[in-house]
Structure 1
Amino acid sequence: MTYRAGWIHYTNVAPILDPLVLPPGVTAITGVPTEMNSALLSGRVDIANISAVEFIRHADRLEALPDFSVAVLGAVYSVNLFHTRPLEDLRRVALTAQSSMSVALLEVLLRERGLSPRLERAEGEAEELLASGYDGVLRIGDSALREWYGVAGPLTPERSMTALPNAARGITVTDLAQEWFALTGHPFVFAVWAYRKENPPPAALLQAMREARRQGLGHLADVSARHAAKLGLPERVVQHYLWNFRYHLEAPDRLGLAEFAALAEPGHARLSFGPRPGEPSGLAAQP
């Protein structure tokens, strides 16, 4: 029987998915986060790298691979709030419909600051939406990375990525993962690889994913160069962006995930993870 995967193939998972060779009996489709969240929950795919908030919301039905994540400690560069007013003065914020995770994170951060601007669904590039009357725009993924660089760049030989400004031309870019770190001191987990509890992935797929991750991280300069050309960004920018990620769902990441679950979705079922490599099957880790 075919095992079906659903991949959100943004640049941030290129070190895992670019080198991945699916074993026999496994097929894959790709889409944006909300599409793959829906595909997994509806049964159209059996495993997906879904938004962590959807994993939390459906913890009664889903289990996650114990050693795969898309997480950062500090800035992420591709989940950004572009705004023309200070955060405390925001009135209307445009939200993308592509990611429930980023919207949930923004809602938590605003609530923790005691802020309540009007949040509206609207798609488009940040500067276009700001010019149309919004004073805040949430952008995610590869487009958000490009638009951040449009504000923060250019990166010169004598300048490091961490020294780039977060404001120009009247636009400020607030990195939501950096705001989370300032609030909690924990990493932020954007995505996990989840599957329905009754249908875990075959061992051959897990082995192929782990081999692909080793290969991708071991050749990060090559991965970065390839994706920098697609994005129209300097290789240094994309390489820094990729080596910034935490792909192994380690103990600090689980702490951050548990804290986000408590703030964003209190009262949901405890999170369930499959056995780590080398553990007997049937063991579940709890954050």
Structure 2
Amino acid sequence: MTYRAGWIHYTNVAPILDALTLPPGVTAITGVPTQMNAALLTGEVDIANISAVEFIRHADTLEALPDFSVAVLGPVYSVNLFHRGPVEGLGRIALTAQSAMSVALLEVLLRERGLSPTLERAEGEAETLLAQGFDGVLRIGDSALKEWYGVVGPFTEQTIVPEIPQTGRGITVTDLAEEWFYLTGRPFVFAVWAYRKDNPPPPALLSEMRRARRHGLGSLGEVARQHAHKLGLPADVVQHYLWNFRYHLEEADRLGLSEFAARAVPGHAPLQFGLHPSEDVLRAGS
């Protein structure tokens, strides 16, 4: 029987998915986060790198691979709230329909500040939506990365990463992962590789995913150059973006995930991580 994968193939997972060769008996489709979330929950696919909040919400039926994640400790650069005034004064915020995770994170961060602006679905570039009357615009993924650089760039040889400005052309960019770090001091996990508890992935797929990750992380400069060309961004900017990510769901990431789960989905079922990698895999530096 064919095993079906659903990949959210943004640049942030290029070090895993670019070099991935599917083993016999495995097929794959791609889509935005909300599409792949739905595909896994309806059974259209058997495994997907889904939004962590959907994994939390459906922890009664889903498990996650124990050693794969898309996480950061500090800024992520591609999950951004664009706004012209202070966050405390925002009345209307435009939300993308592409990501349940980013919306849930924004809601947690606003609630922690005691804020309750109106949240409305609207698609489009941040500057366009701000010009249409929104006070803030939530943008995610490759588009958000490009728009962030369009506001705060260009960078020069003298640009110091911790001092990258967050304003430009009258727009402020608030990085939601960085705000989470300021709030909790923990990493933020945006995605896990989840599957239905009754249908775990075949070992051949896991082996190939780990091989692809080793290759991608070992050739990050080349991965960055390829995607920089597609994005129209400097290669060093894309490389800095990629080396920021944590792809192994380590203990610190699980603690961050558990804290977010408690804040965003109180009373959720216990989070489960199956298919523990063997000692041989760990020694191989998977």
Fold shared per TM-score above 0.5: yes
Q: What corresponds to 2:13 in structure 1?
A: 13
Q: What corresponds to 1:36 in structure 2?
A: 36
Q: Do structure 1's residue 178 and structure 2's residue 178 form an aligned pair?
A: yes
Residues 94-150 of structure 1 show CA distances to partners (whole Å, capped at 9, x for unaligned) of 000000000000000000000000000000000000000001000000000000000
Q: Do structure 1's residue 58 and structure 2's residue 62 form an aligned pair?
A: no
Residue identity over aligned pairs, in percent, reads 78
Q: What corresponds to 2:149 in structure 1?
A: 149
Once the 2 structures are TM-superposed, how far is the Cα of residue 219 of structure 1 from its aligned partner? 0.2
Quote the Cα distance in structure 2 between the aligned partners of 1:83 and 1:237: 22
**Equivalent residue letter for 2:244:** N
Q: What corresponds to 1:113 in structure 2?
A: 113
- 1:212 aligns to what SS in structure 2? helix
Residues 141-192 of structure 1 show CA distances to partners (whole Å, capped at 9, x for unaligned) of 0000000000110011221333221001110000000000000000000000
Quote the Cα distance in structure 1 between the aligned partners of 2:158 and 2:25: 50
TM-score, length-scaled by structure 2: 0.97
Q: Do structure 1's residue 256 and structure 2's residue 256 form an aligned pair?
A: yes
Quote the Cα distance in structure 2 between the aligned partners of 1:204 and 1:277: 13
Quote the Cα distance in structure 2 between the aligned partners of 1:155 and 1:225: 17
Unpaired runs of 5+ residues, structure 2, are 280-286
Assess if the C-alpha contact under 8 Å between 1:55 and 1:194 holds in 2: yes
Once the 2 structures are TM-superposed, how far is the Cα of residue 275 of structure 1 from its aligned partner? 3.2
Quote the Cα distance in structure 2 between the aligned partners of 1:152 and 1:211: 36
Quote the Cα distance in structure 2 between the aligned partners of 1:193 and 1:176: 22
Unpaired runs of 5+ residues, structure 1, are 280-287
Once the 2 structures are TM-superposed, how far is the Cα of residue 85 of structure 1 from its aligned partner? 1.1
- 2:63 aligns to what SS in structure 1? strand
Quote the Cα distance in structure 1 between the aligned partners of 2:152 and 2:109: 22
Q: What corresponds to 1:283 in structure 2?
A: none
Q: What corresponds to 2:284 in structure 1?
A: none
Assess if the C-alpha contact under 8 Å between 1:161 and 1:240 holds in 2: no
TM-score, length-scaled by structure 1: 0.96
Number of aligned residue pairs: give it.
279
Assess if the C-alpha contact under 8 Å between 1:155 and 1:161 holds in 2: no
